[in-house]
């Protein structure tokens, strides 16, 4: 967006519709100027010289944060233990009420 272009109320309403947002008339009035300020700020970022910054630059070293899966069988329940206090079972599984209703 060029600095001379202005965001209109109609454009704000179109953006809100695309984002599935309901805006009050007051919000439609004030958002054009706020959006313009945000876009001007982003345009200012284009003035920063990033020619010396690698494309995949990270501020922190990347490390694998996943832990290895280790099964501690001492805290596992057998199937019989897991089902011993259950009212309804079928073929070794819990039976629960359906919570998703088809419309």
Full-model pTM: 0.44
Nearest CA to 1 out of 29, 42, 30 is that of: 42
Provide the terminal-to-terminal Cα distance of the chain, rounded to the nearest Å. Answer: 45
Cβ atoms 23, 31 nearer than 8 A: yes
User: What is the pairing mode between strands 93-94 and 89-90?
Assistant: antiparallel
Taking the C-alpha atoms of residue 12 and residue 8, their distance in angstroms, rounded to an integer, is 6
Contact 36, 25 (CB under 8 A): no
Task: Note the pLDDT of residue 22.
Answer: 94
Per-residue tens of pLDDT for the chain, all 103 residues: 455 568 999 999 999 999 999 999 999 999 999 999 999 999 988 899 988 887 776 777 777 778 888 999 899 999 999 999 999 999 999 999 888 766 6
| Nearest-angstrom CA–CA distance, 45 and 42 | 5
How confident is the model at residue 53, as a pLDDT?
Answer: 80
């Amino acid at each position: 967006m060029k600095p001379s272009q202005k965001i209109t109320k109609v454009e704000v309403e179109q953006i809100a519709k695309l984002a599935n947002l309901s805006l009050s008339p007051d919000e439609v009035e004030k958002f054009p100027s706020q959006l313009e300020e945000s876009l001007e700020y982003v345009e200012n970022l284009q003035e920063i010289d990033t020619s010396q910054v690698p494309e995949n630059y990270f501020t922190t070293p990347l490390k694998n944060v996943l832990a290895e899966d280790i099964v501690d069988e001492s805290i596992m329940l057998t199937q019989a233990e897991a089902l011993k206090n259950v009212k309804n079972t079928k073929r070794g599984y819990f039976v629960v009420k359906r919570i998703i209703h088809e419309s």
